Amino acid sequence: MKDRTDLELQLSGNDLTDPARRRFIQNSAAAAVVAIAAPGLLLGKPADAAGRVIKIGFVGPRTGALARFGEGNDYILSGIRKLVAGGLVINGKRHPVQIIEKDSESNRKRGAEAAAEMIKPERVDLMLASSTGETVIPVSEECERNSVPCITTDCPWQSYFYGRGGKPETGFDWTYHYLLGTGRPDCGVHEHVGCHPHE
């Protein structure tokens, strides 16, 4: 019987078809939506009046070199749309939820354009983006520039933070990122960027 090397074990955990990884991604996406909606779900009363539509923008690669990163988007977005189909109750009003998705085309310029299209004409309340720095960095920059809350993932935090010129003392005002990094920080930055202490 052949012993597997550490490298082989690490590579097997990165398999995009791994059911455990897919389940983790699905559960993470659902948890993010529930976290956003939790005040209305946990503390809300039956809605008496309809509120305005809450618009959530999502940018990810559907085409181009990074299209494989977006393969699960239909499944995840479908589940989230079902979860919020009845809207969210906030302060006694039921707000319908609209999720608007745009393709970054695996291109930084198009990622920024997609975000701008949802910020200006669509007037999204929250922007989400995923799948490498080619998408999350330009989307985050556009949101920061226009004071729109943005949550991103699927890009090492160092690339996201320092690739945008981030400074640990100040961070960013409107943009937030979640993903582990490429190694343990040695500069004390983990207190400012939410790094796991054992990363």
Domains of the chain: 50-193 (3.40.50.2300)
pTM assigned to the model:
0.66
Q: Where are the alpha helices (DSSP H) in the chain?
A: 6-12, 19-43, 73-83, 108-119, 133-145, 157-163, 190-193
Mean pLDDT of 14-39: 56
pLDDT in tens, 74-128: 898 999 899 999 999 989 899 999 999 998 988 989 998 999 999 988 899 999 9
